[in-house]
Structure 1
Amino acid sequence: MEVIIERVAGIDVHQKSITVSTLIGAADKKPKRKLNTFETTTDALKACGRWLEHQEADVVIMESTGQYWRPVWKILETFGFKMILCDPRMIKTMPGRKTDRLDAEWIAELGRCGLVSPSYVPTAEITELRETTRTRKAMGHDVTAYRNRVHNILQRSNIKLTSFVSDIFHGSGLKLVNMLINGEKIDLDSVAANMHGGMKHCPEQILRAMDGELTANDRKLIGINMNHLAYLDQALAKLDELIEEQRKPLWDLYLRLQTIPGISERIATTIIAEVGADVTAFENGHALASWVGLAPGNYQSGGYTRNARITHGNKYLKTAMITAALGAKARKEGGLKDFFYRLSSRMGKMKAIVALAHKMIRIVYVMIREGSTYEEYKDQNRQIQPVIVSG
């Protein structure tokens, strides 16, 4: 194979150690191979950087193995190497040849021949915003899990409060649940005293819904879950403040993204956190869509060609863009809605949603690259068409 990089190092990353293989030599000669192993402590990784300098390596390639690659990347980057992160699925070695040494050598060999596609690594500021938004999303899932536990306890105790009260975690609903937790006397007067005037159902109905068999143990369990929910609400509020602070330098982009139908404040924040304000790492909009996981590939064999499924991609951004597509197609009118229904008539609604999300992420790519704004206009009696206007 043609040699593209003459001085390359491949690193197989693990929790406790890294295995480093270097291939140094001119393109027309057999390269000199060196192998070494280092621990993943800070001092050991700095020693690895000095060793790579001594080997005169120019390019360092490693797999994105969990979170283990990040401290290795951060420390070796300070030595001035050209760092390349690659997807482990794209550089699998031959079956039956699985050792740390062989993995490192295989990465170096692929890198020397230019066969490693670099993964996108955002700036430090975008990385921090990404970590914050992902933490908030995970904590939001925790809130849902704890609320479901409370609902399950009430249902098994035959307390049908959720059938009459839309939200039992705030306002009057929370007051009624606290009556159950505290073992207070529940009668028509006490129920009415904890209900606000906007509730649809009368106190008699709420009283009958609260007539169940709640054991002392279940009261304690509900209390523990409700206390944890209160803590999570406070943590979410702090995360929202942190996200707002980290998002300030990109406020203009944040507002411009929301001009796209279906993209809410939360989705705009997710786009910025996952992609950032610089899309030069992606060759074009299709490359970004492929990285997100919204671009189906092609499969060709024996002259037969068919479309492959979409890839896993970036699950956070893919979920956000699918949600945005659902919002865009639900608008009263618009070019994106027309696009969805034009496709759904021939390929089905699910595929049309993915296609619409694909189109929207490509619009996002152009808006970030050009600094433009999305607008929709109606030209007399013509259909509304999406337009991108330079900012």
Structure 2
Amino acid sequence: MSRKKSKNKLGVSGNKKSLAVRQRPSVGKRPRRGGLPVDNAPPPIESLKQVNLNAAGIDIASNVHFVAVPKDRDSENPVRSFGAFTADLEAIADWLAQCGIETVAMESTGVYWIPLFELLDSRGFQVILVEPSQIKKYRRKTDVLDCQWIQTLHTFGLLTGSFRPADQIIVLRSYMRQREMLVKSAAQHIQHMQKAMEQMNLKLSEVVSDILGVTGMSIIDAILAGQRDPEKLAKLRNEKCKNDEATIALALHGNWREEHLFSLRQALDLYRYYHKKIVEVDDQIEVYMSQFEDRSGGEPLAKPPRAKQRSKTANEPKFDTRRLLYEMLGVDLTTIDGMGPHSVLQIVSEIGINVDAFPTEKHFVSWLSLCPEANKSGGKKQKKGKSPTHRSSNRVAQTLRVCAQTLIQSKCALGAFGRRLRGRDGAASAITAIARKLAIIVYTMIKTGRAYMDIGADAYNGRFKEKLVATLRRRACDLGYDLMASDAA
């Protein structure tokens, strides 16, 4: 049976219970659970102290930008819309200068903010880039409301800017991201090659460890040159290949359909084309890195330990990355366990050659989202169990996690630390914890210039054992017992 409804004074229908819930608590009385007393309500934003008096807010879009300035700077039209062409961006800068604006806040929308950000920065404005999560307010969103809200929040100093490295590092970062895109594109065509061979029932990937190795590439080139005899193709086997010629010949009996051969040829051509472009990017990166100031102080770069003396993989730059990084930073980050020259180059291209933007290592780890989220209220955690880390697509954090995965089975101190946490919390938590320690080490080395020294797994396990025994002895003493070592130990 439906509940009987009534109409309130405004003519809106509703039952008595819903009307009672909507009643506003009287001043001085304790409100319902979850509400606030009227006399304890937060002050309006107009009563807050204005920090940035000459502030503007910009809402970014692909084809139009909405700009808001204080009302006293342009009484007729404090909110204006501009196009996205270069002439329009120049007009924005001219109007902001005419209004006496010194600092500008804009929302990070795709890549559309980059041209305007760089133009305003070159014109002398202090520009901060704001994450969209900081400026969400309106349920009914419009561009005009957005730019006004950004300007209001920035005026009262309620916005924090995102990290953006120096312009010199931004150039290096662009080269590295272009290189990463080319590597991913080349990897897609490796899959296309494998698919074409599987459709011809050529099981080359089953008998060789890498179809792009010496044996695999020799066989594929011979197939595309017209060779169809499996025995002759198997004779192209490299002497280091594990399988013999007979096994490889059995895997090369296929149907040789013309459409699949065509797909294989195109995939191989595209793979080689992308790697040719990767070499061009590497040449550009090498030339650009050599232009940085030498901060090594003339001290020669030490020879890497034997454990790190390995040949470069196909996707790593072929130039001397380690030497150039040492000259840029003044410290050799490749001495850190699990981190090679390419990994260090990826990290440096994202954070730069100094970490002054992060006051402490905790700020750096928090920016990387490698620490648990703080979810406390009244001094107590709101969720039971361990707090997860914040989900993030930070490129530096991804690189550190990849480096951490290689340390789980290593004999260094970080490896012993990871194995201990893996047994307690699982592999995912252990990798995150190792990545966090790697981030702290990277931050400390860049900040102080001190070299990294690994104490070894045995020394780490010994320290942990001493700490564990001290904890057990203290707990036994609290219970009125004494802990003594046995003769067997």
TM-score between both structures, scaled by the size of structure 1: 0.89
> 1:7 aligned to 2:54?
yes
Q: 1:236 aligns with which of 266, 278, 289?
A: 278
Q: 1:182: which partner in 2?
A: 225
SS across alignment from 2:58: strand
Q: Which runs of 5+ in 2 are unaligned?
A: 1-47, 293-323, 464-489
TM superposition shift of 1:191: 2.3
1:91-141 CA deviation, whole Å, 9 max, x = no partner?
Answer: 212222x11111101111111111111101111221111111112222212
Aligned to 1:20: 67
Cα deviation code 1:258-279 (max 9, x no counterpart): 1111111111011101100121
Instruction: Map 1:56-75 to 2 at 5 A.
Output: 56-75=100-119
Structure 1: which amino acid aligns with 2:108? S
Question: Are 1:22 and 1:33, in contact at CA under 8 Å, matched by a contact in 2?
Answer: no
Paired residues, what number? 378
Q: Aligned pair in 2 of structure 1 residues 79, 187: CA closer, same or farther (>3 Å)?
A: closer
Instruction: Measure the CA separation in 2 of the matches of 1:379 and 1:211.
Output: 50
User: Within 1, Cα distance between the matches of 2:359 and 2:76?
Assistant: 34
Residues 69-112 of structure 1: CA deviation (Å, up to 9, x unaligned): 1100111112211111111122212222x111111011111111
Structure 1 residues 144 and 254: alpha-carbon distance in aligned structure 2, compared to 1, 3 A threshold: farther
Pairing of 1:374-389 with structure 2 (within 5 A) = 374-377=452-455
User: Cα distance, 1:333 vs. partner?
Assistant: 2.6
What is aligned with 2:371? 295
Contact kept in structure 2, 1:8 and 1:108, CA below 8 Å:
yes
Change in CA separation of 1:262 and 1:342 when aligned onto 2, cut-off 3 Å: same
Assess, with a 3 A threshold, how the Cα gap between structure 1 residues 33 and 117 changes in structure 2: closer, same or farther: farther
Q: Which has more strand, going by share of residues?
A: 1
Give the C-alpha shift of residue 25 in structure 1: 6.6
Aligned twin of 1:130: 173
Q: Which residue of 2 aligns with 1:84?
A: 128
Separation in structure 2 between the aligned mates of residue 345 and residue 76 of structure 1, nearest angstrom: 52
Q: Which amino acid aligns with 1:280?
A: D
Whole-Å separation in 1 of the counterparts to 2:448 and 2:253: 62
Distance 1:381 1:199 in 2: 40
Q: Report sequence identity in percent.
A: 27
Q: What residue is the counterpart of 2:199 in the other structure?
A: 156
SS at match of 2:120: helix
Give secondary structure in 1 for the equivalent of 2:79.
strand
State whether residues 412 and 455 of structure 2, in contact with CA within 8 Å, keep that contact through their aligned partners in structure 1: no
1:15-42 deviation digits (Å, cap 9, x = unpaired): 112110012679xxxx998111111222
Q: Are 1:293 and 1:318, in contact at CA under 8 Å, matched by a contact in 2?
A: yes
> What is the RMSD of the two structures over their aligned residues, measured on CA atoms?
2.5
Which residue pairs with 2:357 in the alignment?
Answer: 281
1:339 to 1:195, Cα distance in 2 relative to 1, 3 A: closer
- 2:196 and 2:260 in contact (8 A); partners too: yes
Name the SS of the counterpart of 1:19 in structure 2: strand
Q: In structure 2, what is the Cα distance between the partners aligned to 1:197 and 1:328?
A: 32
Distance 2:454 2:239 in 1: 42
Amino acid corresponding to residue 114 of structure 2 in structure 1: R
Q: Deviations over 1:289-338 (max 9, x none)?
A: 2222212211235754346432243432111010111223332132x223
Contact 2:65 / 2:84 at 8 angstroms: preserved in 1? yes
Counterpart in the other structure of 1:201? 243
Q: How many Å separate the matches in 1 of 2:455 and 2:163?
A: 35
Q: Decide whether aligned partners of structure 1 residues 263 and 299 sit closer, same or farther in structure 2, where only a CA change above 3 A counts.
A: same
Q: 1:146 aligns with which of 175, 189, 193?
A: 189
Which of 308, 323, 326 lines up with 2:405 in the alignment? 326
The answer on whether the counterparts of 2:227 and 2:233 sit within 8 Å (CA) in structure 1 is no
Q: Which residue of 2 aligns with 1:361?
A: 439
Larger RCO (CA under 8 A, 6+ residues apart): 1
Contact preservation (8 Å) 1:9, 1:61:
yes
Residue 213 of structure 1: how far off its partner (Å): 1.3
Matching of residue 258 in structure 1 with residue 302 in structure 2: no
1:353 maps to a residue whose letter is I
Following superposition, the deviation at residue 362 of structure 1 comes to 1.8
Instruction: Structure 1: state its 5+ residue gaps.
Output: 386-391
The letter of the residue matching 1:367 is M
Give the alignment's TM-score, normalised by structure 2: 0.72
Structure 1: distance between partners of 2:434 and 2:330:
21
Give the 3 Å change call, closer, same or farther, for CA 381–107 of structure 1 in structure 2. closer
Quick check: 2:331–2:449 contact (8 Å CA) kept in 1?
no
**Shift of the alpha carbon at 1:341?**
3.1
> Aligned in 2, Cα 1:23/1:295: closer, same or farther, shift over 3 Å?
farther
Kindly indicate whether the alpha-carbon contact (under 8 Å) linking 2:230 and 2:253 is maintained by their aligned counterparts in 1.
Answer: no
User: How many Å apart are 1:203 and its aligned residue?
Assistant: 2.2
1:164-195 Cα offsets, whole Å, 9 max, x none, are 1223234232221123333324152x225423
